[in-house]
Amino acid sequence: MTPSDTPSPQAPSSEGSVSIPEPPEIADALGSSELHGRELDAEQEVSALKVAAMSVPNFLDHLEEGSLVIASGDRADVILGALATRATTLLPTVAGLVLTGGLEPAPQISALLGASTLPTLPVDTDTYRTVRVGLRWRF
């Protein structure tokens, strides 16, 4: 299936902005299931949406507690930065990571994700289409 053939995920509302969805609704809306780490669950508070389109130092400076981070699945640097938030109190904790483009992380990065508690959701859509779903939610 080519990216243009991939169906666009739908947000959990018919139109306009909707309130913050529960984590299971996020996974459903993005057309994903848990890949690594633990599943997104109703106890995990998602309070912000962040697109990781900058270098890791700048990305870390823009994080907020409870951020749902959207990044291309091949961005090992961003994945490691998100994982680091779970290992220190110096940074806001990332609530979850959405990996776009149907791209799998390198095996070494996948192993780290698998051993972590960071919920990681893979999607086949590109970053733009994935963000469009997220922008319908009010954080």
Q: What are phi and psi of 103, to 5 degrees?
A: -95, 130
Residue 10 scores a pLDDT above 70: no
Instruction: Give the C-alpha separation, 64 to 71, whole Å.
Output: 16
Please choose, from the candidates 109, 102, 108, the residue with its C-alpha nearest in 3D space to the C-alpha of residue 129.
102
Q: For 35-82, write each residue's pLDDT tens digit.
A: 666 666 556 678 889 999 999 999 999 999 999 999 999 999 999 999
Instruction: Give the C-alpha separation, 98 to 132, whole Å.
Output: 13
Residue 3 scores a pLDDT above 70: no
Q: What is the pLDDT of residue 128?
A: 92
Global pTM value: 0.79
Q: For 23-48, write each residue's pLDDT tens digit.
A: 677 778 888 866 666 666 556 678 88
Instruction: Give the C-alpha separation, 104 to 86, whole Å.
Output: 21
Give the orientation angle of helix 23-30 with respect to helix 127-134, to 10 degrees: 140
Which domains does the chain possess?
33-134 (3.40.1390.20)
Q: What is the pLDDT of residue 107?
A: 96
